[in-house]
Amino acid sequence: MHNPAILYPVFALACWTALVLLLIPYFRVRAGLRREIVSEDFKYGESSRVPAYVSIPNRNYMNLLELPVLFYVVCLILYVTQLETQISASSSSLILTLAWIYVALRIMHSIIHLSYNAVMHRLTAFALSNAVLVLIWILTAAQVANIKG
């Protein structure tokens, strides 16, 4: 039987992404009611007339749909191949821990982006999350290479 533990960080990041998605219509409708924007401001994406506080949730949502796709893929590889049952407990635990660290860093990146938006703080969280993702892929590839079929 498959161990679902590697899927829990996937569910957590997917839920976070859905929450950020909900911010987009909230801020757009609010700005529309305040007459800060009109529907034509979104005809070809977001026009320069769209206030930053309205466009940032959309940009953050796009960030959550870019590199996290590779996170979803590697976690599904681990689950579908049952790799977590074929590698040592310490390696499996390390990969699972790194998966949760990745999710925490992506959430941190979003919170920074959606709140005070300090670019260097946001960049740090983004870069660290990418380094963790690369490490997960390297560990997974190494484990696949070591499987004796």
* pLDDT digit string, tens, across residues 58-82: 999 999 999 999 999 999 999 988 7
* pLDDT digit string, tens, across residues 1-26: 467 999 999 999 999 999 999 999 99
Q: Which domains does the chain have, with CATH numbers?
A: 4-146 (1.20.120)
CB 135 within 8 A of CB 95: no
- Residue 8: what are its φ and ψ, rounded to 5°? -60, -45
CA 34, CA 32: separation in Å to the nearest integer? 5
For 115, half-sphere exposure in the C-beta direction (CA atoms, 13 angstrom radius) is 8
Mean pLDDT of 105-120: 98
- Residue 49: what are its φ and ψ, rounded to 5°? -80, -15
Please give the span between the terminal C-alpha atoms of the chain, in angstroms, as a whole number: 18
pLDDT of residue 1: 46
